Amino acid sequence: MPRKAATKNKPTTRNLDDCKVAQLSPESLAMVANFFKVLSEPNRLQIVCALKSGPCNVTEIIETTGLGQANVSKHLKMLAQAGIVARQPRGVAAYYEISNHSFFQLCEIVCETLSIQLNQQSKQIKELVAATPNL
């Protein structure tokens, strides 16, 4: 019986045209990276979560988060510069609100991804524990 010639699987080429991020210039990528840097601080995420239910002034954010006034003000400035929050003067106070609510969709995607990763790690740990009963 004749043998079939072995066929090599061609490596799949990735189509970078489908990835909008891959088409960005280095300068634009730096802007994306800086946006994520702003979100890399837990206190800023806590402030953003405090604003999810609606506009708040600094005092209300302090009460919700337990952070100090100087800390909240510093983080609000950075969040505003990144375009994540907007400042609206109302009389003698300023109220802050989320500029774009799609921000929360991004957070949900990240949380879902982390949940999947943690579940996978948990399964791996259980397998390791089961394989090493004497530890």
88 and 119 inside one domain = no
pLDDT of residue 22: 83
60 and 84 inside one domain = yes
Mean pLDDT on 7-35: 75
* CB-CB contact of 72 with 47 (8 Å): yes
Residue 12 lies in a domain: no
50 and 115 inside one domain = no
109 and 65 inside one domain = no
Residue 29 lies in a domain: yes
State the total domains in the chain. 2
92 and 113 inside one domain = no
Find the domain containing 118 and state its range.
101-135
> What is the CATH number for 36?
1.10.10.10
What are the tens digits of pLDDT across the range 52-93? Answer: 999 999 999 999 999 999 999 999 999 999 999 999 999 999
55 and 44 inside one domain = yes
Would the pTM of this model clear 0.75, i.e. be above it? Answer: no
pLDDT of residue 14: 59
54 and 88 inside one domain = yes
pLDDT of residue 121: 94
